[in-house]
Structure 1
Amino acid sequence: MEIRDNKTHLKQIDDIFTDILSPMIQREGSSKVYFYRIIGCDDEEQYLAEIVRLDEKLRSIGNYIFFDERIQITNDSSLIEQARKLFEQVPLKDFSNGAVSNLLDAQGYFSLSSDLQINRKIKDAFGIVLNLYLSNDRPVNVSIVVNFVTKMLLWLVDYGKHIAKKSLYNPKIIYWGSPKTHEVYFLIFMSLIGYDVLVLNTSFNDRFEQVDKQNIFSFVIKKTQELPIHAFPTKKIQEVQQTHIEQPTKPQQKTNGELINSNTLLLKDPIVVVKLKRSENPFEEVLIPLNKRSGYVGDPYPIVPTHFVRYIGVPSSSDDLETEYYNKLYTLDKALQTSGCYLKFLEGIPAPSAAEGAQIPPGFITNLYKDRLGILEQILQAKILPHMNNKLLDNTIRKTFVDVVDLFAEKSSNINLSIVLNFSLKMVTWLNRYLPKLFAQCNPEMSTRAEYNFGHNPKILFYGTIKPHEIYLLEAFHKIGCDVLFIHSSNEGDKPFQIFDKEMSLTHLINNKQNLSLAPFPESERLIRKSTIAYNASKEIEETIYSEEVGLFKPWQFESYLTQPITLKTTYDELKILWREPSKLRPEFKVQNKKVYIPNLFAKINGVNEDLDAYWLDLKEFSFAPNTKLIKDVPFTEINYTKQELYQTDYLLNELGFFDDVKVRKSRHYRFGYLKADLQHFLIAKINELLSSGILLSKVDEKFKLKILMTILTMDDSLIKLIEVFDFPHDIPKVVVYDNKKETFSEADAILLAYFNLIGIDVVIFTPTNYKTIEQQIKPSLFDVHQLPLVKFDLTLPSLDSITSAHKPGILSRFFNLR
């Protein structure tokens, strides 16, 4: 049984556990993929043994993805926001008409391979799955669809790379458990682009029935019994075989009869309970006294709502966002200094010094510990943690210390007792270094009071790059009752926290949209210009009037947009009429999804008129249009680079076969650095678009890609100026070529003409000889050919300035003998 189109077939087989291991070349046909879901279980022991064997073989083959009861999705909020922003302006109706697929294709999300057919298959599969989702779920608003598409897109970025690997074996997926609804769609998508998919679901909870209702996209094997979904069998074996650094030990007996374990180590006395407080304005709310915050409970058993905020990136601003950001940090710093108990880290936390290390009893290093519990017990019994002369605070410090060490052991990989001991002693040293002074500043009379006043709690600010151990100290500060602010101007700085707090339960993340390179913490306020109310009102009015939908455009409004050419098919008379029309007045012009659709012209005019004067007059009309470059001879492109320089640029190609924007702009061959940043990005984006456009007839291999790059980077200044002055909705730049000889266009000429067409520039070629010229380089289907009556050879181009329009009397003038 075969299902789907003629590019990817779904294949039914007798033994999925055997046949899924077969190379593609051995399967009947070259594009057979397997997609099975096995629901329930008969003989559990035999079934699990088969799964273990299959898993081992797939791991040995490689190109294999295993999903254990869920498909993980990135928690990088910047990537999520970047993906979601793509769809901000997309109406709900456009999700089902291919607009979203075209948008993602233009952004390069489907370009996972250098093989254009694979990328096309990815795009088509995405459209199939999106329409299946819209048909099944019938979402009522855009945000629901955006959530689905964003999730699919992020999954594709994470798991779709295997399709580009060259191997005898196509990629494989095993999903253990019962996939959620969105996961079902993603598994269908992966099957459509060429992955073998096997869903192993021992329960009868099968959501495929709600999505793939007719079993079009997958085959189902239903067993007789239902079993709960336990741990994947291979995982069970690994857990049994794994050697832990800590073996369970019997609870040790203390002298007073109290049992010792990591949860009850001398910690039965009351402590301060700290609750994570979340706020979108932490710089202001951190200054509010604890006893004024919602959720605060005082003596005798305090509950204190405190902040632990990761403030990442820079808020967007209508003014100077960098200056506003650093002035905000400066103001915050001054406000925290007035609070009385404030600790600021700007260059990390200094490691324990030799003098501090000498305060640790020497027996800690030489003692042989059976487990982590022994380390914790000895530290607590030795009383080397800071002593604050306040029972409630002392209990809280001891409990926090134990919790932080346990947390470190839980979250660390390849850990042993030596690492735990070193970490524990570093925490002891740091807590002794900072806590006594910090809390004494908040409460000068602390040692003489029976209860600790939690009205004003300490503030901790950490700015810049942070190391994993330093995060645990910040966690300790927070659990003891401090407000903690971690600040970094870029998403890069948050990566250690993304490992520490994947579930976002220990900290509150505020991820701003903009990023800046980390700069020194501000020591003074910067000068800034601020917008007036009238200015902001004017900007709002502009945004309303000059929108994509209204159709009124201000100069250079879309200079940060990309263009999409819509090359018009016209008659010769229409070509002459439309030639001087601005882009916005031509049919098919539109602005949508951060892209300007340019109705441009690309034509070749063979032969000449019977009236040669009329032919020259037409050529003059074309050539004298505003912003037009007349090329009088072909080939017209000079090669301004050597073979050595050509091959030196191969490092500019990325793993997907496209040019890296940043590397190109930094290369020594790049000479467009004087242009606006948006235009530079535009030029490189269009080069990459040309690589996969299929406009040129030549095979676009690596060498030809380098030729494309160097030809464009070294083009004549007069041609660059054509692009510089192109304000997309207005007058379209033009290239007119007069070709009257046997010499045809060179490869470099064709590259430039194809590039201009892709940008949206008008191109017309006059060929009085009727020779086949540009057709040998560019696909003939992409331009019009207009045939005039006569053929002329060696027809020299006259001075067009001397060509004038000879007025001919009309019929009525001749009839009435008028002159």
Structure 2
Amino acid sequence: MKQEELVIRKAEPENGDWETFLMRPLPERPGYERENGLAFTRLAVRILGTPYDETEYYNKLFELSSHENIHVLSETLDKTIAPETFQALQHIHSVNQKEKGLSVSRFVAFLDGGRLLAKHADPLMHRRLRTAFMTLLETFADRHENGLNHPDFRRVLLDVSKFSLNHLNPWLEQADIEREMPKVVWYGDATKSQLYFLYYLMLIGCDVLLFHPAAEDPFSLIDPDEELSFVIKLPATGGLEPFPKEKPDRTSTTAYRSTKEIEHVLNHEESMMYKPWQFRDHTPQSVTLKTTYDELFLIAKERAFIRPQFKADRERVAVPNLFAKVMGVSKDTKEYWNRLHTAADYQETHMIRSFPFTEELKANYQYHYSQVLNEEGAIDADRLKRSNIWQYKHLPSGVQSAIANVISDMCRNPGLKALPGEQARDAAIYLFRQATNLPASLLQLIQTFDYAQTVPKLVLYHTEQNGELTRSDAAALLFLNKFGVDIILYNPPGHQDIEHYIEESQFDVHWLEDMVFRQEYKEPSLVRKLFRTITQKQGE
């Protein structure tokens, strides 16, 4: 080891036993040296998911928070900043922009000169605080286009500096760095600034534990190869509950834990055995199947998880669905109407026989659209849900997130034909405007959708006599298709309608033998209606 050097090593506890390792003083950890400087091993672990027993999980979090030497930063983060500190940081950021990017060494020199970095009486740690900040700047620059001139950098700079002054300085003043470094717990989601501060804490040798019960791993954006931290994946996942302020007063029995473990084995994403509404917090992602005319009706009656290409992971459900247009009428008219009535008779079917079935909004949504875009130019689902145009606040949170994510996906790959003089962005804004104002009947169709089970259906019967299918109707169809809903459009005269608005690659067309004009919709017979009523009552 070089003279006067501070060496910090990554912990790799045996069998992932981070709890025992966390409580060991630095001298009792492997790799500790005190001659010619200081070397020690610090712990950084990302704990994703929960055990089968969530009570055990929240008990552990509460125990950690009760330890006097452990800081639960996610719950105590001090976001205040002194005006003079803000002005000094703003000045340095302006210099950086004016010079089109300072070198990291000059940047840290400016920060050090302005007393905007954490400090320490020990010269080795004092130097480490500065070299670690240089590493942070280099990492940010490497991971962002335009480096330190990226729009997010100002926010990260302000936050990491103020968090260091508000938290790191007092922690280090109290710590004997030869025996124990600060121990930090972070629970749940984190902003980019918070992630970079946690990264900084790891670089200077703090023990850092990141917990996320939903198994989300935002820190992987900074440490994708686990060079600084390691990942522990627990067997189950749970919702992001509030951090426990007191010890949970319920204790799970062995039988309860065994039951939860069996449920996980049977009902996890790849088990092919799914509980009702198991994926209520997932986002549907349609996989529109290309079928023959006969296959259309065979697949329509199957539940989603039986269909080819169904797949689920922790966040999304790939829903195999149908989007087909039937042109003309079969020579066997009995079979034609029997198939149509069968599709229309499903309990999950919404039938449309009058057009248009949506209202076209004329308001200018360019500003609203631009306000919900992220840095990559895509719609940010969370920003959309917080916006003042969000009409779906009354829906369950999982449904809201699904709608917002589907709108984002749809606008990124519209599938809607641009009008003369329109650009792709204009088509995306049109879809955005219509999808954020869906009629109640279509919202109800979405709310009944248990993604692994029965697939909702929209059956449309369109002739030259029952109105015009409009562009706003086409926008609604595109949204429902992206959401995973089955769509079958009947057009007995074989006329174009959705072709005016939707790219032909988005749907199948099945041509039948006869083009029939002024074909009224034939209601099912009384016997069929009676049979349908009896069947539905038996299914309730």
Q: Which amino acid aligns with 1:509?
A: V
Tell me the CA shift for residue 715 of structure 1.
Answer: 1.2
Is 1:755 matched up with 2:453? no
| CA distance in 2: counterparts of 1:607 and 1:274, whole angstroms | 77
- 2:184 touches 2:208 (CA, 8 Å); kept in 1? no
- 2:493 touches 2:517 (CA, 8 Å); kept in 1? yes
| CA distance in 1: counterparts of 2:201 and 2:294, whole angstroms | 69
| CA distance in 2: counterparts of 1:589 and 1:658, whole angstroms | 26
The structure with higher relative contact order (CA 8 Å, sep 6+) is 2
For the residue of structure 1 that corresponds to 2:356, the secondary structure is coil
Query: 1:508–1:488: structure 2 CA closer, same or farther, 3 Å change rule?
Result: closer
Is 1:583 matched up with 2:307? no
Q: Which amino acid aligns with 1:581?
A: E
| CA distance in 1: counterparts of 2:33 and 2:304, whole angstroms | 67
| CA distance in 2: counterparts of 1:651 and 1:795, whole angstroms | 47
Q: Which amino acid aligns with 1:643?
A: A
| CA distance in 2: counterparts of 1:288 and 1:305, whole angstroms | 15
| CA distance in 2: counterparts of 1:792 and 1:657, whole angstroms | 46
**1:780 aligned residue (504, 509, 513):** 504
| CA distance in 2: counterparts of 1:410 and 1:770, whole angstroms | 71
| CA distance in 2: counterparts of 1:791 and 1:680, whole angstroms | 42
Is 1:675 matched up with 2:372? no
- 2:284 touches 2:483 (CA, 8 Å); kept in 1? yes
- In structure 2, the partner of 1:604 is 325
- In structure 2, the partner of 1:796 is 520
Q: Which amino acid aligns with 2:376?
A: L
Tell me the CA shift for residue 785 of structure 1.
Answer: 2.6
Greater mean alpha carbon deviation, residues 276-285 or residues 550-559: 276-285
Is 1:724 matched up with 2:421? no
For the residue of structure 1 that corresponds to 2:252, the secondary structure is coil
Is 1:544 matched up with 2:265? yes
Deviations 1:487-544 (A, max 9, x none): 3435555644644663x5x33433334599999995xx34444432222212222222
For the residue of structure 2 that corresponds to 1:489, the secondary structure is strand
Deviations 1:458-513 (A, max 9, x none): xxxxxxx84248635644654465534343435555644644663x5x33433334
- 2:350 touches 2:458 (CA, 8 Å); kept in 1? yes
| CA distance in 1: counterparts of 2:8 and 2:515, whole angstroms | 88
Query: 1:689–1:315: structure 2 CA closer, same or farther, 3 Å change rule?
Result: closer
- In structure 2, the partner of 1:235 is none
Deviations 1:23-51 (A, max 9, x none): xxxxxxxxxxxxxxxxxxxxxxxxxxxxx
| CA distance in 1: counterparts of 2:352 and 2:470, whole angstroms | 14
**1:765 aligned residue (477, 489, 512):** 489
Greater mean alpha carbon deviation, residues 568-577 or residues 729-738: 568-577
| CA distance in 1: counterparts of 2:61 and 2:506, whole angstroms | 53
- In structure 1, the partner of 2:168 is 471
- 1:283 touches 1:332 (CA, 8 Å); kept in 2? no
Deviations 1:253-304 (A, max 9, x none): xxxxxxxxx98xxxxxxxxx99999677787677779998889999xx9x99
Tell me the CA shift for residue 644 of structure 1.
Answer: 4.2
- In structure 2, the partner of 1:713 is 436
Deviations 1:81-104 (A, max 9, x none): xxxxxxxxxxxxxxxxxxxxxxxx
| CA distance in 2: counterparts of 1:565 and 1:314, whole angstroms | 27
Structure 1 segment 102-501 matched on structure 2, within 5 A: 316-317=50-51, 318-319=53-54, 323-324=58-59, 327-333=62-68, 401-404=122-125, 466-468=163-165, 471=168, 474-475=171-172, 477-479=174-176, 481=178, 483-489=180-186, 493=194, 495-496=196-197, 498-499=199-200
- In structure 2, the partner of 1:96 is none
- In structure 2, the partner of 1:532 is 253
Q: Which amino acid aligns with 1:590?
A: F
Query: 1:296–1:601: structure 2 CA closer, same or farther, 3 Å change rule?
Result: closer
Query: 1:309–1:750: structure 2 CA closer, same or farther, 3 Å change rule?
Result: same
For the residue of structure 1 that corresponds to 2:321, the secondary structure is coil
Tell me the CA shift for residue 637 of structure 1.
Answer: 0.8
For the residue of structure 1 that corresponds to 2:263, the secondary structure is helix
| CA distance in 1: counterparts of 2:383 and 2:508, whole angstroms | 37
CA RMSD of aligned residues (A): 4.7
| CA distance in 1: counterparts of 2:269 and 2:257, whole angstroms | 20
Query: 1:628–1:473: structure 2 CA closer, same or farther, 3 Å change rule?
Result: closer
- 1:274 touches 1:480 (CA, 8 Å); kept in 2? no
- 2:27 touches 2:179 (CA, 8 Å); kept in 1? no
| CA distance in 1: counterparts of 2:242 and 2:338, whole angstroms | 62
| CA distance in 1: counterparts of 2:392 and 2:129, whole angstroms | 51
| CA distance in 2: counterparts of 1:651 and 1:625, whole angstroms | 40
Count of paired positions: 418
Q: Which amino acid aligns with 1:779?
A: E
- In structure 1, the partner of 2:226 is none
Tell me the CA shift for residue 553 of structure 1.
Answer: 2.5
State the TM-score, normalized to the length of structure 1.
Answer: 0.43
Query: 1:332–1:718: structure 2 CA closer, same or farther, 3 Å change rule?
Result: same
| CA distance in 1: counterparts of 2:292 and 2:132, whole angstroms | 71
Query: 1:605–1:802: structure 2 CA closer, same or farther, 3 Å change rule?
Result: farther
- 1:590 touches 1:596 (CA, 8 Å); kept in 2? yes
| CA distance in 1: counterparts of 2:130 and 2:26, whole angstroms | 31
**2:348 aligned residue (622, 627, 630):** 627
For the residue of structure 2 that corresponds to 1:599, the secondary structure is strand
Tell me the CA shift for residue 728 of structure 1.
Answer: 2.7
| CA distance in 1: counterparts of 2:263 and 2:241, whole angstroms | 34
Deviations 1:601-657 (A, max 9, x none): 222222234576654444322211120010011221113x45145644431223433
Tell me the CA shift for residue 564 of structure 1.
Answer: 4.3
For the residue of structure 2 that corresponds to 1:512, the secondary structure is strand
- In structure 1, the partner of 2:407 is 687
| CA distance in 2: counterparts of 1:780 and 1:316, whole angstroms | 45
Structure 1 segment 733-744 matched on structure 2, within 5 A: 733-741=456-464, 743-744=467-468
- 1:738 touches 1:767 (CA, 8 Å); kept in 2? yes
Tell me the CA shift for residue 700 of structure 1.
Answer: 6.0
| CA distance in 1: counterparts of 2:398 and 2:355, whole angstroms | 32
Tell me the CA shift for residue 557 of structure 1.
Answer: 2.9
| CA distance in 1: counterparts of 2:415 and 2:32, whole angstroms | 68
Give 5+ residue unaligned stretches, structure 2: 82-119, 135-161, 217-238, 530-540
- 1:616 touches 1:803 (CA, 8 Å); kept in 2? no
- 1:404 touches 1:476 (CA, 8 Å); kept in 2? no
| CA distance in 1: counterparts of 2:327 and 2:77, whole angstroms | 72
For the residue of structure 2 that corresponds to 1:687, the secondary structure is helix
Q: Which amino acid aligns with 2:256?
A: Y
For the residue of structure 1 that corresponds to 2:54, the secondary structure is coil
State the TM-score, normalized to the length of structure 2.
Answer: 0.63
Q: Which amino acid aligns with 1:672?
A: Y
Deviations 1:360-383 (A, max 9, x none): xxxxxxxxxxxxxxxxxxxxxxxx
Is 1:512 matched up with 2:211? yes
Greater mean alpha carbon deviation, residues 716-725 or residues 289-298: 289-298
Tell me the CA shift for residue 761 of structure 1.
Answer: 1.7
Give 5+ residue unaligned stretches, structure 1: 1-261, 264-272, 337-344, 352-398, 414-464, 806-819
